[in-house]
């Protein structure tokens, strides 16, 4: 039989002995003598009742199956309730028996004396077993044991202490806790003392030969993490951390999981406070369509939308592999829910207007989140035809179908590069915003656009590029030492997109609070430090010059827009001062469509500059040579 079952059998035998012994001790205390002869019948009957009821209720509560090496206060409280109830029932039965037969009489004060003694005996046996089992666990060899400090003495820090104490095989000995709150200094949490604030790290590292500092602060800002990292680096100690708040939201990670500090931790911002109830009311029971559903933003939109229980989620994308992956992930999630939403994967190109109209007619979504777009700035400079056909004409197709099929709410994912654009990609996004604004004016529905900056970890992200360059041994390439960008995490961006969808009235362009801009070169140096490398010694940073369409700084508003707050502190409106830019929109969109059909890039870029005067196309291009198309089969037949 398994050792645990033997231990639990021993506990049953022990209880059969401890309960009558505790009652006997109580009766001796009450009588103040070593003989119980006057009450022997009552003693034996009460002891038998209490022992049987105690073991029966403990068994009924499945507490004989509890592994006491991992027991917590909750199990002890359940055990205490079972013992107390058993003594109360035994007392009532004993009083009933004594009323029928005086031989069963006992001193009335005995149950009050016996209860704490029985409780003490039963609980003490479990506590002693817990201590024995914890000491008997295999420990890591001293050669692999690490002395650690835990930065953060809040709930997360306390949980980390319990995790490390309960798993000695991890090979981590806790030297102490640290916290910047001076009121916690000198206190003990699970037997571990709070030894000071972050400034105490160098002294404690030297005094106790600490090898690791675990940052147990899931809600800490990136500035705080960066400061602690810097202190630890100067002290020559490794830094680990717990997952941040956004990692915990998706349910894939737990607070107790430890990992190395990542670049997202250093850029961590204050948590977003989302009105989840209003988002649920918007989505629950509705048919929702997400374009670009296989992409970084689109897939996260799908994840968060599914949690709001729509009736049906349609994942529309052009890349079959990415759409398949997110569909399979969501199917696994939905299979664990009762009455989960239908998940449909649709492969389609938003540039195919007829196909998009057909899909809208078939599925009749009430909400559309439009995340499909070409976003790579230098690549779109080389392929403006594709940028226009996808970002502008594809958006027009979706808006036409949405208006014709009665879509109630349309949200387009835009970009901060749409502000005073210097690139084709930014200009096409700006024109797409105009189309959304015009569609809202025509339909009188909440069709809106949401602008935000770069997202960490998205495809084509500078973070992934730097990781690849570091893995290859360098160099890290940066276009300019002064280049700055705004960064957000993908879950944060999507949370705010959903919030903006709730706030939308008619044609607004929302802007998300992206915090402070970050220098790209600082990002690269942080990633080098996190990799244990040093600039110049291990890997060089090389400046290559601005690429076509790039800007040193991203802007938030155009000269014709003004800043306007909303009811959410992290969502703003880029309110237009004038709508004159919309006057000839449809005529110019028709010209763009003709330029795409004729593969005429110069005409295309000229039309873009008419729509977005801030955009200045490169030097005039020669009209592309149009090869003469000869119908081969016809020419053969004619021959």
Closest to 204 (Cα-Cα) out of 150, 158, 165: 150
Asked whether 104 and 41 are in contact (CB, 8 A), the reply is yes
Within 199-272, strands assigned E span: 212-215, 238-241, 259-260
Per-residue burial over 338-353, b = 16 or more CB atoms within 10 Å of its CB, e = otherwise: eebbebbbbebbbbeb
Asked whether 486 and 515 are in contact (CB, 8 A), the reply is yes
Closest to 512 (Cα-Cα) out of 297, 249, 309: 297
- Pairwise CA distance, residues 556 & 554, whole Å: 7
Which one of 172, 252, 375, 417 is the catalytic residue? 417
- Residue position matching structure tokens 């001293």: 142
Asked whether 345 and 324 are in contact (CB, 8 A), the reply is yes
**Is 417 noted as a catalytic residue in this protein?**
yes
Closest to 95 (Cα-Cα) out of 108, 84, 82: 108
Closest to 307 (Cα-Cα) out of 287, 283, 275: 283
Is beta strand 484-485 parallel, antiparallel or unpaired with respect to 518-519? antiparallel
Reply yes or no: is the peptide bond before residue 475 cis, omega within 30 of 0.
yes
- Pairwise CA distance, residues 323 & 299, whole Å: 8
- Residue position matching structure tokens 């916690």: 184
* Structure tokens belonging to residue 180: 């910047």
- Residue position matching structure tokens 């198309």: 629
Asked whether 318 and 293 are in contact (CB, 8 A), the reply is no
Q: Residue 560 class from Cβ within 10 Å (0-12 exposed, 13-18 middle, 19+ buried)?
A: middle
Closest to 568 (Cα-Cα) out of 508, 623, 618, 628: 508
Asked whether 584 and 596 are in contact (CB, 8 A), the reply is no
Asked whether 287 and 311 are in contact (CB, 8 A), the reply is yes
DSSP label of 479:
S
- For the annotated catalytic residues, the residue numbers are 417
């Amino acid at each position: 039989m398994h050792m645990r079952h033997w231990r639990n059998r021993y506990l049953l035998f022990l209880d059969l002995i401890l309960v009558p012994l505790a009652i006997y001790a109580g009766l001796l205390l009450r009588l103040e003598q070593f003989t119980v002869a006057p009450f022997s019948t009552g003693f034996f009957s009460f002891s038998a009742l209490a022992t049987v009821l105690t073991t029966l209720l403990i068994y009924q509560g499945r507490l004989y199956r509890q592994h006491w090496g991992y027991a917590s206060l909750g199990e002890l409280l359940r055990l205490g309730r079972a013992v107390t109830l058993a003594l109360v029932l035994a007392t009532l039965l004993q009083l009933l028996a004594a009323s029928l037969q005086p031989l069963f009489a006992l001193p009335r004060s005995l149950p009050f004396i016996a209860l704490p003694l029985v409780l003490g005996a039963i609980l003490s046996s479990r506590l002693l077993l817990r201590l024995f089992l914890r000491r008997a666990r295999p420990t890591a060899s001293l050669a692999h044991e690490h002395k650690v400090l835990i930065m953060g003495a809040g709930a997360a820090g306390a949980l980390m202490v319990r995790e490390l104490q309960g798993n000695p095989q991890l090979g981590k000995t806790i030297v102490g806790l640290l916290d910047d709150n001076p009121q916690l200094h000198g206190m003990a949490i699970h037997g571990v003392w709070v030894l000071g604030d972050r400034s105490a790290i160098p002294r404690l590292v030297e005094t106790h030969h600490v090898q690791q500092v675990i940052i147990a602060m899931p809600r800490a800002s990136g500035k705080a993490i960066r400061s602690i990292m810097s202190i630890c680096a100067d002290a020559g100690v490794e830094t680990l951390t717990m997952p941040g708040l956004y990692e915990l939201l998706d349910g894939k990670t737990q607070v107790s999981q430890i990992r190395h500090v990542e670049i997202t931790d250093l850029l961590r911002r204050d948590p977003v406070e989302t009105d989840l109830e209003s988002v649920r009311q918007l989505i629950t029971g509705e048919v929702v369509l997400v374009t670009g559903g296989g992409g970084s933003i689109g897939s996260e939109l799908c994840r968060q939308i599914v949690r709001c229980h729509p009736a049906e989620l349609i994942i529309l994308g052009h890349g079959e592999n990415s759409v398949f992956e997110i569909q399979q992930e969501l199917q696994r999630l939905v299979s664990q829910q009762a009455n989960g939403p239908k998940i449909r994967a649709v492969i389609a190109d938003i540039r195919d207007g007829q196909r998009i109209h057909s899909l809208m007619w078939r599925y009749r979504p009430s909400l559309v989140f439009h995340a499909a777009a070409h976003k790579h700035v230098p690549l779109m400079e080389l392929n403006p035809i594709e940028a226009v056909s996808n970002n502008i004409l594809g958006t027009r197709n979706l808006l036409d179908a949405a208006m014709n099929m009665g879509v109630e709410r349309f949200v387009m994912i835009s970009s901060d590069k749409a502000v005073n654009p210097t690139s084709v990609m930014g200009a096409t996004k700006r024109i797409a915003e105009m189309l959304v604004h015009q569609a809202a004016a025509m339909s009188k529905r909440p069709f809106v656009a949401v602008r935000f900056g770069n997202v960490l970890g998205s495809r084509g992200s500078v973070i992934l590029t730097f990781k690849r360059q570091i893995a290859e041994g360098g160099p890290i390439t940066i276009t300019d030492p002064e280049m700055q960008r705004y960064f957000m995490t993908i879950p944060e961006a999507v949370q705010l997109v959903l919030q903006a969808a709730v706030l939308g009235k008619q044609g607004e362009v929302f802007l998300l609070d992206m915090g402070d801009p970050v220098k790209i070169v600082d990002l690269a140096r942080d990633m080098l430090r996190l990799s244990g490398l040093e600039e110049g010694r291990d890997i060089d940073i090389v400046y290559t010059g601005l690429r076509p369409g790039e800007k040193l700084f991203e802007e938030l508003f155009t000269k014709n827009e003004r800043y306007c707050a909303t009811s959410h502190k992290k969502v703003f409106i880029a309110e237009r001062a004038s709508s004159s830019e919309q006057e000839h929109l449809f005529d110019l969109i028709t010209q763009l469509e003709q330029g795409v059909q004729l593969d005429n890039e110069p005409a295309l870029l000229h039309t873009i500059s008419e729509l977005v005067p801030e955009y200045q196309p490169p030097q005039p291009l020669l009209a592309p040579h149009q090869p003469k198309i000869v119908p081969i089969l016809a020419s053969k037949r004619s021959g």
